[in-house]
């Protein structure tokens, strides 16, 4: 199946290599990575901070915070992004959507809303504000664009939770993250199968040990930032 | 042979491990960022192998114990899919391709866990002899494709819940915790796909890639039901999710753990006595 509007969210992919991929126009790829200069600089530079050192929040950026609260806010930010995306998908379904696709995408929206509201309530006064999204790179009228974005978000969500596990101190929070990540993985497989049946766990995402990916917050935030108008800053998140 | 007996063959801990661990703590920490791409051969012997003490008839309380438990479950899945793919009843094309992919992952999990257990200075538990009919309960598991898929779904959903139930025990070793999480989410991807295969065959829209309530998805079987009991939860950490979404969505949006004892009760019938 051709995915002319597919978006590959892999910052480690060199530009030249990405530009050669037929499925990604160079312009679109660059736009996906077109992160607000300040946000990117802040995230990249804070990555080298020593543990325990409190960095300075860049002007206009939202500080996710530190410790377990920081990780919960990080998860809350990602769930806000996913929930906003699927809410938009449900409000303006792409052309030619099938009944099965509607059912799955509606369920996924509800799950992401449940995750978002859960974190909001659990964090209480420590919660970051509601984020403003930027979905200008997504063509919500086109199936390929919507599903490629959904795939990218779900695979990213799985890798984010897998990477966050080791950063969590409280075992109850770890269990909660574990309860959510497997649902994100069910979504990822479902979306992948909608794009191409049988790609639920193919070797573009699963390694030779039969394992999913784990990504560090700095890497995840760099990708997520391109879909956000609000600027996130994770410089105080735990590093280990 | 009893499963608990299988676990009793673990060697005693390497007595030097604590010394080597503390001196290598920095090196160990640097591994934790590598996660799933970790090259096993490069893992230091003392990789967080804090807790190699022998254990007995209860739930694993240390990293090695959890890994032995996980290995046993992966043996079960790997052997199941190996027989399934060889059964001759899987339709060619997408179904055979999917089950082959899953089989390969389960074999990779066995190899990975075996290697990690050895790195931690323990002897991997041996592979049990399996009876996938569960004493005749699923007599046609390898001759009836629908039964085969039902058992596959049950194994996958159980595996997801089993890994989840042990995450807290792995917190002492970030590298192993991350690896276990990276396996856990692959099992969930498998579960999602098997459920879609079942949905496509039956045209039953109630079978979804996620678990609704404690519904096994059209499998009416007391043995299978044990793998789903407890999934119906709609309140998390005291927060009632039905304030935001339907009760179906509330239960689907969080997968629940299973205790060691629950999992043993589920898989014991598949181990030859």
Model pLDDT for residues A189-202, shown as the tens digit of each residue = 999 999 999 999 99
Query: Per the domain annotation, does A47 fall within a domain?
Result: no
Question: Which domain CATH number covers A145?
Answer: 1.20.1260
Look at A217 and A27; give whichever has higher pLDDT: A217
Q: Which residues pair with A62 in a beta bridge?
A: A232
In the block, which residue shows the tokens 């037929």?
A: A22
CB-CB neighbors (< 8 A) of A190 in chain B: 192, 196, 209
Which positions 179-218 of A are in contact with B (Cβ < 8 Å)?
179-190, 193, 197-198, 200-202, 206-214, 216
Q: Can you give the pLDDT at residue A118?
A: 98
Q: What is the total count of domains within chain A? A: 1
Judged by DSSP in three states, B262 sits in helix
Query: Per the domain annotation, does A49 fall within a domain?
Result: no
Q: Give this prediction's pTM.
A: 0.81
Q: Can you give the pLDDT at residue A36?
A: 30
Look at B52 and A89; give whichever has higher pLDDT: A89
Q: Can you give the pLDDT at residue A69?
A: 98
Look at B11 and A153; give whichever has higher pLDDT: A153
Q: Can you give the pLDDT at residue B58?
A: 73
Contact B271, B129 (CB under 8 A): yes
Cβ of B185 within 8 Å of Cβ of A121? The answer is no
In the block, which residue shows the tokens 């390694």?
A: A207
Query: Per the domain annotation, does A32 fall within a domain?
Result: no
The pairing of strands A231-233 and B235-236 is unpaired
Q: Which chain A residue has its CA at the smallest distance from B169's CA? A: A171
Q: Can you give the pLDDT at residue A73?
A: 98
What are φ and ψ of residue B4, in 5° steps?
-60, -35
A89 is in which domain, residue-wise?
A: 74-233
Burial of A139 by CB count in 10 Å (0-12 exposed, 13-18 middle, 19+ buried)?
Answer: middle
Nearest to B254 among A104, A183, A208 (CB): A183
Average pLDDT over residues A3-26: 39
Residues of chain B with pLDDT under 70: 1-57
Which positions 96-115 of A are in contact with B (Cβ < 8 Å)?
100, 103-104, 107, 110-111, 113-115
CB-CB neighbors (< 8 A) of B167 in chain A: 165, 171, 174-175, 178
Nearest to A107 among B182, B185, B208 (CB): B208
Average pLDDT over residues A53-81: 94
Query: Per the domain annotation, does A199 fall within a domain?
Result: yes
Q: Can you give the pLDDT at residue A38?
A: 31
Which positions 49-108 of B are in contact with A (Cβ < 8 Å)?
94, 97-98, 101-102, 104-108
Cβ of A182 within 8 Å of Cβ of B160? The answer is yes
3-class SS string, A66-135: CHHHHHHHHHHHHHHHHHHHHHHHHHCCCCCCCHHHHHHHHHHHHHHHHHHHHHHHHHHHHCCCCCCECC
Q: Which residues contact B202 (CB under 8 A, 6 or more apart)?
A: B146, B218
From CA B176, how far away is CA B67, in angstroms rounded? 9
Q: To the nearest 10°, report the CA torsion of B74, B184, B64, A210.
A: 60
Q: What is the mean pLDDT of chain A?
A: 84
Q: Can you give the pLDDT at residue A55?
A: 79
Contact B206, A213 (CB under 8 A): no
Q: Can you give the pLDDT at residue B187?
A: 98
Q: How far is B140 from chain A (nearest CA, A)?
A: 26
Contact A24, A169 (CB under 8 A): no
Nearest to A171 among B97, B168, B252 (CB): B168
Judged by DSSP in three states, A14 sits in coil
CB-CB neighbors (< 8 A) of A166 in chain B: 32, 174-175, 177-178
**B115–A contact, CB cutoff 8 A:** no
Average pLDDT over residues A109-138: 98
Residue A184: count of CB within 10 angstroms of its CB: 29
Query: Per the domain annotation, does A104 fall within a domain?
Result: yes
Instruction: Give A53's pLDDT tier (boundaries 50, 70, 90).
Output: low
Average pLDDT over residues A10-27: 37
Cβ of A176 within 8 Å of Cβ of B256? The answer is no
From CA A189, how far away is CA A114, in angstroms rounded? 20
Query: Per the domain annotation, does A191 fall within a domain?
Result: yes
CB-CB neighbors (< 8 A) of A121 in chain B: 239
Query: Per the domain annotation, does A195 fall within a domain?
Result: yes
| H helix or E strand, kind and range, residue A63 | strand A61-63
Query: Per the domain annotation, does A147 fall within a domain?
Result: yes
- Does A219 score more than 60 pLDDT? yes
Q: Which chain B residue has its CA at the smallest distance from A165's CA? A: B178
Q: Can you give the pLDDT at residue A27?
A: 37
Interface test with A, best of B185, B197, B247 (most A CBs within 10 A): B185
């Amino acid at each position: 199946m051709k995915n002319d509007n597919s978006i590959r969210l892999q910052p480690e992919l060199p530009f030249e290599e990405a530009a050669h991929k037929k499925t990604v126009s160079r312009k679109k790829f660059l736009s996906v990575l077109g992160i607000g200069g300040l946000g990117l600089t802040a995230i990249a530079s804070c990555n080298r901070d020593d543990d325990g050192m409190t960095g300075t929040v860049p002007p206009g950026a939202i500080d996710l915070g530190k410790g377990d609260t920081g990780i919960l806010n990080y998860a809350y930010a990602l769930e806000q992004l996913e929930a906003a995306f699927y809410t938009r998908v449900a409000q303006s379904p792409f052309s030619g959507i099938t009944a099965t696709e509607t059912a799955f995408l509606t369920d996924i929206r509800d799950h992401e809303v449940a995750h978002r509201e859960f974190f909001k309530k659990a964090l209480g006064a420590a919660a970051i504000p509601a984020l403003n999204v930027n979905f200008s790179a997504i063509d919500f009228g086109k199936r390929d664009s919507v599903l490629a974005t959904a795939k990218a978000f779900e695979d990213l969500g799985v890798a984010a939770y897998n990477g966050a596990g080791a950063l969590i101190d409280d075992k109850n929070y770890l269990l909660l993250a574990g309860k959510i990540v497997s649902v994100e993985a069910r979504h990822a497989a479902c979306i992948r199968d909608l794009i191409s049946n049988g790609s639920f766990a193919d070797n573009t995402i699963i390694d030779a040990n039969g394992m999913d990916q784990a990504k560090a917050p700095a890497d995840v935030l760099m990708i997520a930032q391109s879909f956000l108008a609000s600027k996130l800053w994770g410089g105080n998140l735990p590093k280990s | 042979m009893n499963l608990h007996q299988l676990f009793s063959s673990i060697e005693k801990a390497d007595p030097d491990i604590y010394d080597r661990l503390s001196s290598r703590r920095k090196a160990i920490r640097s591994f934790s960022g590598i996660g799933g791409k970790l090259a096993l051969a490069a893992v230091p012997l003392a990789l967080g192998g804090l807790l190699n003490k022998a254990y007995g008839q209860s739930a694993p309380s240390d990293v090695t114990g959890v890994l032995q438990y996980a290995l046993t479950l992966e043996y079960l899945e790997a052997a199941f899919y190996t027989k399934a793919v060889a059964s001759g009843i899987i339709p060619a094309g997408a179904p055979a391709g999917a089950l082959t992919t899953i089989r390969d992952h389960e074999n990779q999990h066995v190899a990975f866990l075996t290697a990690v257990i050895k790195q931690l200075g323990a002897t991997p538990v041996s592979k049990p002899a399996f009876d996938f009919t569960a004493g005749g309960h699923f007599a046609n598991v390898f001759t009836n494709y629908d039964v085969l898929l039902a058992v596959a779904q049950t194994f996958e959903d159980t595996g997801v819940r089993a890994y989840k139930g042990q995450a807290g025990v792995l917190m002492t070793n970030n590298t192993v915790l991350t690896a276990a999480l990276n396996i856990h989410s692959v099992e969930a991807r498998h579960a999602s796909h098997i459920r879609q295969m079942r949905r496509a065959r039956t045209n039953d829209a109630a079978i979804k890639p996620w678990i609704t309530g404690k519904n096994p998805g059209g499998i009416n079987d007391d043995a299978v039901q044990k793998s789903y009991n407890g999934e119906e939860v709609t309140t998390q950490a005291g927060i009632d999710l039905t304030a935001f979404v339907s009760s179906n969505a509330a239960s689907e949006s969080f997968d629940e753990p299973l205790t060691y004892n629950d999992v043993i009760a589920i898989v014991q019938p598949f181990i030859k006595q």
